[in-house]
Structure 1
Amino acid sequence: MSSDTASRSKDDKDLEATEVQGNVGNVYRSEVDTSGIDEKKLMRRIDWHVVPWLALLYLLNFLDRGSIGNAKLYHMTDDLHITDKQYLIALTVFFFPYSLFEPPSNVALKKLRPSIWLSFIMLVWGIAMTLHGVITNYAGLVGLRFLLGLAEAGLYPGVVFYMSCWYRRDELGTRVGVFFSSATIAGAFSGLLAAAIAKMDGVGGRPGWAWIFILEGLFTILCAIASFFILSDFPDTAKFLTDTESVWVVRRLQADMKFSAGGELFKMKYVWQALTDWNTWLAMGIYMGFDGPLFAFSLFTPTIINQLGYQATVANLLSVPVYAWACIMTVVVGFWGDRAKCRAWINLGLFGSGLVGYIILICSKTPSLSYFAVYLAASSIYPTIPNSVAWVSSNVEGSYKRSAVLGMAIGWGNLNGAVTSNVYRAVDKPWYKLGHGIVLAYIAIGWLCSLAYYVHLRYENARRDRGDRDEVIKGTDSKRADEKNGRFESVQAARMEKGDQWSGFRYSL
């Protein structure tokens, strides 16, 4: 038997097991024969259609958001006649629309096509980015940072939710890791790009920092237009899949307990389910634990290195190897998480190494030691994100509930960027002990919430194994079934109604 045939046979058995467990007489569009599908070949094609372009979009998202940190080193604040306090306020303004718009944006993406919604918001932020290069005062900077935050809000949670609608739970970490590695590439590339573009100082009567915004913004606009034609939609409507391939993708997702994969009508109860689930709030704590440090790190790494005694261009260039290391770690951890199936312990280990890194930054008085600690911090913060994203999204069933949970968690996490964008004050240079201490506290919160999330999921799985969560199903006789868990006409009805609260759902640890 060939490896492809063996793989398909295993997948068929998984589907049959799901049918038996759910007492369901058919699968999604049972009249369609998918036996001729070559799984490995099709998944490679899906990867090429889904991951690379999304990674490019997120690279631009992160590059555009953080380029203000590079521009600051080339006298942007002097030319705009703004104080350090005003600069921090401008950074803070970005995060309020960026955080609050994320949950409704995810619902909009689900109701519209990703190719329309993601391309539209990208076009808006590209225009806002370009206009950064023509402003002349503080008011213009604040207004554009607000618009940039509003437009960029939908990309990250939208892409994470979108990818969770394509891949099984044991596949998502690797893809999110590759996707999110573009953020580290953006961090490295921004330093090189800024150093090169700054040499255009005086061209067209504009300073070098202005050209950083103008050129990056124009490229984002071009990519936004291309996205209308390049981005694919969900598995059941994607144009690059044949009808048979679409059915096969939906079925394998249903076999992975993503049984809403074949389409789901929006109901407000799904949002309410997200709000009343303890897991949602613990997930928000985890996201808070890495998003706060992420924004502090991405916005101030060049400044921190600069204040350790390095000039602007050298500081930008020294940030490149830091992000290159973070990129390698992000991909490795994403790949490892899918295969080791121990995301809780990976999270605890990564947050733990981050605690060590920031303790060193607080205690160090040596530039070289502090520079080493920056590497340790980067290799902790960035890999934690795809591992946490895959962990949280794999434990939420129901496409609308998943979009709401991810929107809330990511939105809350990003809102904390409004705090951490203010913690590295000029008066605290060169060692920035206050900023490092606050970031340390955030990482500690992430560690504690990861531990609580793991304990709660394990406890719930044990209760379901004992039958404590069994629903009353018409026509069946279960000694453990309890009315308080719900009464349903069939197991399938219970699954679709309760999502991850269904007694047969098992959380991944």
Structure 2
Amino acid sequence: HFIGFIIFEIPSNLVTDILGLHVWLPILMICWSITSMTQAACTTVVQLGFVRFLIGTFQAAYPPSIIAYIGSFYSKNELTLRYSLITTLVTIGGALSGFSSYFIVQISDSSLSGFQWLFIIESIPTLIMAIIIVVFLTRGPGNARFFTPEERKFAIERLKSECDPVEIDSDLAKAQVKFAFTDILTYIYTVVLLTTTIPFYALNFYLPTLVSQLGYNDFQAQLMVVPPLIISTIFMLLNSWCSDKYQTKTINALVDFSLSTIALVGMLATRADDPTAQYKRNTMTAIVLTSNQIGGIIGLLIFPATDAPSFIMGSSVCLATVILSAILAIGLKFYLELLNNKRDLTILANHKYKLNDNDLKNNKRIREIAMELVEKEPKYDEVLCDRHLNW
């Protein structure tokens, strides 16, 4: 599953840029829902592995494409909360899936076994949602069926200050894709996401197992997993709301990493005592999110059953990656500040703007002047805001 994601995430995302999410996503959803149902017919590990590979292939375009699509409706200071809502739904979906699967696999009065019904039943919602998307989803706010003409105009106008909706020719699109592969920030974000997704996937997959080591049976373990997921969901939404409201990113990430570090240190101690641009931006997103799947593979391997009940290796790896993520977040903050200062001074030099001695020492004032100078110029988003101090 993860291998299909890794191989096809970038190519599939480029197809999304060409066809539009409203066309490509329903096709993929129908494909992966039907393919998911065919798992019920698999009789060997090879067959199941091949089907899982196909599912990952069809799902590959979803994460980067949905991020880009939401970004076409909301300004940058509104996106963190919206993205966290998606992650929240994934978390809740995982909890509900694990809970419901316990009951589905109990089905016995049928020619199919419980696990076969599990594959079929849990694939049906995706198929239904694909049909709904065909009816309601559009390429963007400019032709959204759920908006009135006035609302469509307003949705476009409110985002003009960030990025003018200009047509991009094929040469510029190719240049943007190439830039996404050569921009060092792409790989910094990739490493940051990789180090954060390892503990995310590891704990999501193995949380019921870890809970069961405390003496609960399978059903009780599934129930005991729900409270921490609810708490994490509430905290995620609150932290994202604060991030959007106060336009801070690094401090919010460091709070998350600090709490994760405390929790993982506690886990180790407890067990020890126990016996920019459209094409460039979208391609960059796909590259970065590919590391998400790599992190998933690593996360699945660091909690082997032989380590029970202490799971020292898995907890140690999660702790190390969280600490590394915090260090990278701080470094990224300073690097982006350096880029911002260079861009601001370049803008001032291009406009032949002279600064006095006091302004030269005030980066905030330099930023305000630079923003005023380029406010009415095209491609404003790529000139300045794509490297905002707190972005």
Task: Tell me the TM-score normalised to structure 2 length.
Answer: 0.86
Q: CA deviation at 1:447?
A: 1.3
Separation in structure 1 between the aligned mates of residue 167 and residue 238 of structure 2, nearest angstrom: 33
Contact 1:170 1:341 in 2 (8 A): yes
Letter in 2 for 1:507: H
Deviations 1:33-87, CA, capped at 9 Å, x for gaps: xxxxxxxxxxxxxxxxxxxxxxxxxxxxxxxxxxxxxxxxxxxxxxxxxxxxxxx
Letter in 2 for 1:264: I
Contact 1:233 1:239 in 2 (8 A): no
Letter in 2 for 1:400: Y
Separation in structure 2 between the aligned mates of residue 124 and residue 228 of structure 1, nearest angstrom: 14
User: Mapping of 1:24-423 within 5 angstroms?
Assistant: 94-200=1-107, 202-255=108-161, 257-259=162-164, 261-266=165-170, 267-365=173-271, 397-423=276-302
Letter in 2 for 1:265: D
Separation in structure 1 between the aligned mates of residue 343 and residue 54 of structure 2, nearest angstrom: 46
Letter in 2 for 1:114: L
Letter in 2 for 1:336: C
Deviations 1:261-295, CA, capped at 9 Å, x for gaps: 34433421101222222222221122112222222
Letter in 2 for 1:328: I
Contact 2:13 2:282 in 1 (8 A): yes
Q: CA deviation at 1:150?
A: 0.9
Q: How many residues align?
A: 370
Q: CA deviation at 1:411?
A: 1.0
Contact 1:188 1:321 in 2 (8 A): no
Deviations 1:229-283, CA, capped at 9 Å, x for gaps: 132321223233344433332222121x223x34433421101222222222221
Q: CA deviation at 1:494?
A: 8.0
Separation in structure 2 between the aligned mates of residue 503 and residue 320 of structure 1, nearest angstrom: 43
Separation in structure 1 between the aligned mates of residue 349 and residue 54 of structure 2, nearest angstrom: 48
- Identical columns (%): 23
Separation in structure 2 between the aligned mates of residue 311 and residue 338 of structure 1, nearest angstrom: 41
Contact 1:130 1:214 in 2 (8 A): yes
Change (3 A) 1:108 1:263: same
The residue that corresponds to 1:507 in the other structure is: 388
Match of 1:458 among 333, 337, 345: 337
Contact 2:333 2:389 in 1 (8 A): no
Q: Is the partner of 1:253 in helix, strand or coil?
A: coil
Contact 1:285 1:445 in 2 (8 A): no
Q: CA deviation at 1:100?
A: 2.7
Match of 1:433 among 312, 334, 346: 312
Separation in structure 1 between the aligned mates of residue 111 and residue 269 of structure 2, nearest angstrom: 45
Task: Tell me the TM-score normalised to structure 1 length.
Answer: 0.67
Stretches of structure 1 that go unaligned for 5 or more consecutive residues are: 1-93, 370-396, 481-489
Separation in structure 2 between the aligned mates of residue 197 and residue 507 of structure 1, nearest angstrom: 48
Q: Is the partner of 1:205 in helix, strand or coil?
A: coil
Stretches of structure 2 that go unaligned for 5 or more consecutive residues are: 356-372
Once the two structures are overlaid, the 10-residue window that deviates more, 239-248 or 163-172, is 239-248
Contact 2:272 2:310 in 1 (8 A): no
Q: Is the partner of 1:421 in helix, strand or coil?
A: helix
RMSD (Å), alpha carbons: 2.6
Does 1:443 pair with 2:322?
yes
Q: Is the partner of 1:258 in helix, strand or coil?
A: coil
